Amino acid sequence: MGTEGDNVRVIGGRYRFEARIGRGGMGVVWRASDTLLGRQVAVKELGLDDSLSEDDARQQRERMLREARAVAQLRHPNIIVVHDVVLHDEHPYIVMELISGGSLADRIARQGPVDATEAARIGLALLGALRVAHAAGVLHRDLKPANVLIEAGTGRVVLTDFGIAQVEGASTLTETGGFVGSPEYTAPERMAGERAGAGADLWSLGVLLVAVLTGESPFRRDSLGGILHAVVYEELRPPAEAEPLLPVIQGLLQREPARRMPLDEAERLLRAYIATGATPQPAVPYAADALRPTYTPTRYDVPPAARRGRSPRVLLVAAALVAAVAGAAIAIAVLLSQQGTGDNAPPGSPGSSSRRPSGSASSASPSPTPTVTVTRRETRTETPRASAPSGYRIADDPGGFRLAVPKGFRREVDGPRVFYLSPGDTFRIGIKVTDTVGGGPGEAQRKSAADGPKNNPGYRAGKVTDTTHDGRAAALWEFTWNGFSAAEGARHTVDLCWEQGGRMYDVWVSAPVGEAGRGRAHFDAAVDTFVPSAGD
């Protein structure tokens, strides 16, 4: 009943493929014509694991078709309409409505993060979609910006790509094969190999809300192991942009599923925010188990199981999952935000005592950067510094300190500043140690910010935030600038300054705006492992 030839393919006797328009977690999406009804549709061609035996492949097809048919029964304005399910040449296909407009991920990449009101609108629409899906026993399992469409002209929010959805109680690919989904948006119970229910989709929605408000997932890391560690263990403190919806986000991002905010409560709070511009406190207080209002750098030393209330079995399962996932094909939607100070200028740049050309180039255009506040503990407790994370090494610097820097970075000195530079100077880690100054770190950073336009061409979006670092007074300075040449391109800098033992320590990282996610990881690793040779 199908034809294929002259680059034309027809399935089900009526759906004529025209062009590939996307790729989802489990297959390829095509624009097609429904020749029977004369309309445009989207057809998802579900991929099969060709390493399976004939019997296993048949079971996989049956499972996919069964779950696709369950999704086809869902009716909600914020759920993609499934028109048909077709088995053609032993391959399953899902025929869906064709939405005119890009994904939420595309929108953020082009226009940057959304404001709190729009985020609440998107969240409310997705909660409505999840309510209907969960009532029908369907779990989405891959809720992320790339799987949310925004219809052009109407702004309708449409949840799509149920390609890895699970019908509750059914055996799924996760149980029979390997991990499926996008780790940055995956609930910790799934990452730890535990059986997950509807609450896992609510966790993903909490991550999505942070991502649309700030421009990237709060669990964005450079490696799969880093993502897993962040999701399961790290204490995350979202940036200021997330604060208007913080009661909802904090409730959804509770690591223990039983403590997670229920759908009805999240819906009530988002409706209240849209109506009043303020989010009321939830009916049940949610402790900051996973979240606080400010960001804390990544802790790379894995805490004991008891610290997070998880069993040793979970630790073993999670470790095994890293190995399993590393060998699987996983689609991770990457939204990189950004990362430059008069003090961050590399050797050879304006304001430096020597001159050397920079080998960096970036074609990425600037995009908004999350404003973060580096805070750890408000008490003066000494915490042993972590060892270097994967891909880094501990540098025992002759300048009287040690810190983690990426492997392959070279050390250079320019006056009082020490630099660790990547090949081509694309990433720059800078450290400066001086005597304390009157007014402390805040005044020092504000003075540097005032000199920003003089020292950093195209200086913009500068912000200094007073904070603490290991209980000590500190100040965080972030800004975007144009780089020292057109070839270098726009850059973003994150700079933390604090006092310790009668000395002023300043650590910063400068990176191209399009590589800010990696720059942030380098900053986190440097600050989190930094130890001066003299105690305080």
C-alpha gyration radius of the chain? 25
Residue type, 138: V
Residue with tokens 């492949």: 57
Tokens of 210: 């942070």
First to last CA, the chain: 79
Residue type, 384: P
Strand arrangement, sheet containing 3-5: 3-5, 8-11, 15-24, 27-34, 39-46, 91-97, 82-88
Give the DSSP H or E segment for 511. Answer: strand 503-512
Going by C-alpha positions, the residue among 140, 146, 142, 141 that lies closest to residue 104 is: 146
Going by C-alpha positions, the residue among 140, 325, 142 that lies closest to residue 229 is: 325
CB 399 within 8 A of CB 533: no
Alpha helices in 431-530 (DSSP H): 440-450, 452-455, 516-529
Of 84, 142, 414, 528, which is the active-site residue?
142
CB 189 within 8 A of CB 257: yes
Q: 77-93 burial by CB neighbour count: b if 16+ within 10 A, else e?
A: ebbbbbbbbbebeeebb
Q: Is 397 a catalytic residue?
A: no
How far CA 531 is from CA of 47, 58, 195, in Å, comes to 50, 58, 41
Tokens of 43: 């057809």
Centroid of chain to Cα 453? 31
Cβ neighbours of residue 532 closer than 8 Å, sequence gap 6 or more: 400, 401, 433, 500, 501, 503, 505
Alpha helices in 307-400 (DSSP H): 312-326
Whole-number Å distance between alpha carbons of 530 and 497: 12
Pairing verdict, β 491-500 and 472-481: antiparallel
Beta bridge partners, 288, equal none
| Residue 79 per-residue DSSP state | B
Residues annotated as part of the active site: 142
